[in-house]
Each structure stands twice: as C-alpha cells, then as structure tokens.
Amino acid sequence: MKKMEQLYEGKAKKVFKTDDENLYIVDYKDDATAFNGLKKGQIAGKGVVNNKMSNFLMQIMEKNGIPTHFVEEISDRETVVKRVEIVPLEVIIRNIAAGSFSKRFGVEEGKKLNCTTLEYCLKNDDLGDPMINDYQIIAIGAATKEDLDTIADLTFKVNDVLKDFMRNYLKDLNIDLIDFKIEFGKTPDGQIILADEISPDTCRLWDATTHEKLDKDRFRRDMGNVEEAYAEVFKRLGL
C-alpha cells in the first residue's frame, strides 16, 4: 500500500489517496477544534488514542453486523479505510441530556432521556452545521429516504453495541455513553457503511460512578486534564 497525494485536510484528520483507487489512508492529528473552529488547540497524543480507539470499536461494530470503512491500522496514527462518499449528515444519538440538547430544550445535563433520541445536523461549516429533520434531508437531497432508513437503523444498533461495550463487554469499563455523533459513507457500489471515527472527540463519556467527563468537553469547557481523560479511556479499553 503506497500513500499518495493528500486529498483533504480536516480539523482532526488528513486523508490521502493510495495506489488502490478504492482505498484511502486517514492520518489522525493532535489538533482539536470546538465551536465550529472558533476554539483551536492541541491535545498531546489525541491522534494516537482516536486512531486506535476508533479502529478497535469499528472492528467490534463489524463483529455485530454493522458494516464500516475500517480496513487496516498501519501505524499509531494511520489507518487504511474504504473509499466512500460521505453522506453530509452528523448523526447524533442521545441517551442522556447534555451539550446543545440541554441548552436548546432547557433540560439539565445528566438527565436520563425518556427515549433514545436520534438527531441530524447538516454537515456544512459555512452554515454552522444546522439541525435538520428527515423531511428536510430528503427534500434537499442530502440523502434518499432509503439511505436515511438504513442510517437510522444502523445508528440505533451502534448505540446498543457501544453502550453495552462500555458496561458489559469482557469487563465493566464503568463508562456511561451519554451521546455521540457518527457519520456514514456510500461505497462506489452504493452500500451505506459507518465512516469517520468513534472517539472521545465524538462521544460524551462519563465515569459511571463519579460522572467525571472523559471526553472532548474537557477541552471545549477548559476543564483541564484533557490529555489525562483521553489516556484514561484508552487505558480502560485495554489499548
């Protein structure tokens, strides 16, 4: 596998072409941003944690019948993934109120929601990733009805697997999955698969006993011990 020219540089990752037209290489950076790029910084070692954690969890998803873009980890920060066209949606699941949900609806952070909640945001930095509903998504052609149904089904499954993994897999990691954001891609042959990453950048993870935050909120909210929180999740996962 040969790493070829850079295709794209995002906030937390770079994507490179390879000599196989159906494969890309993702390279995870330590750069961190929040509030649509307004706050910028670095979290030492984050790229390694996110690469390895995401790869580990993607393989668990595969074992549970959820197709993903994961192919092979080739270094601490680099992974070979399947080429997909990203569906321009941030797909969010909430088990417990936090962040923008708490703010928007006036619900106290930490309140268990009466039902698992699915939300979509349109991936568009210029528009500030606005919230969007199913009808609006189909109306503007961000996804077809069929693809959106697949995305919703897979997302609830990801939540079940991930939640279970944090509390019941091999041993109890004593982490509560508050909420998370995932993204999907479409392969050249039209299959919807899980893409992007699953990491403390994209999940809210709280210690189940102390409710201590073990995720990017420590960076967003200047809470300190950011590196330590990422390292703690890494350690609990046994990575």
- Interaction of residue 95 with ligand UDP, rule CB under 6 A: no
Buried b (16+ CB within 10 A) or exposed e, 140-166: eebbeeebbebbeebbeebbebbbebb
Interface with ligand UDP, residue 166, by CB under 6 A: no
Can residue 101 be called a binding residue for ligand UDP (CB under 6 A)? yes
Question: Does 216 sit near ligand UDP (CB under 6 A)?
Answer: yes
Choices 56-64, 68-76, 109-117, 198-206 (CB under 6 A): range interacting with ligand UDP: 198-206
Residue 63 backbone phi and psi in degrees, to 5: -60, -25
Instruction: Please tell me the chain's helix, strand, coil percentages from 3-state DSSP, rounded to the nearest 5.
Output: 30, 35, 35
Q: Which of 28, 180, 206, 230 binds ligand UDP (CB under 6 A)?
A: 180
Q: Which of 77, 81, 79, 80 is nearest to 30 (CA)?
A: 77
Please state the closest distance from residue 177 (CB atom) to ligand UDP, in A. 9
Identify which of residues 3 and 220 has a Cβ nearer to ligand UDP in the complex. 220
Q: Which window, 46-54, 97-105, 141-149, 221-229, contacts ligand UDP (CB under 6 A)?
A: 97-105
Half-sphere exposure in the Cβ direction for 157 (13 Å, CA): 18
Residue showing the smallest CB distance to ligand UDP in the complex:
99
Q: Does 199 bind ligand UDP (CB under 6 A)?
A: no
Is residue 13 part of the contact set for ligand UDP (CB under 6 A)? no
Q: Does 173 bind ligand UDP (CB under 6 A)?
A: no
Contacts of residue 185, Cβ cutoff 8 Å, sequence gap at least 6: 69, 82, 84, 85, 86, 87, 192, 193, 195, 196
The angle that helices 46-63 and 226-236 make with each other, rounded to 10 degrees, is 30
- Whichever of 25 and 121 has its CB closer to ligand UDP, that residue is 121
Q: Is residue 155 part of the contact set for ligand UDP (CB under 6 A)?
A: no
Three-state SS for 205?
Answer: strand
Asked if 92 is part of the footprint of ligand UDP (rule: CB under 6 A), the reply reads yes
> Interface with ligand UDP by CB under 6 A: which residues?
90, 92, 98-101, 129, 179-181, 202-204, 216
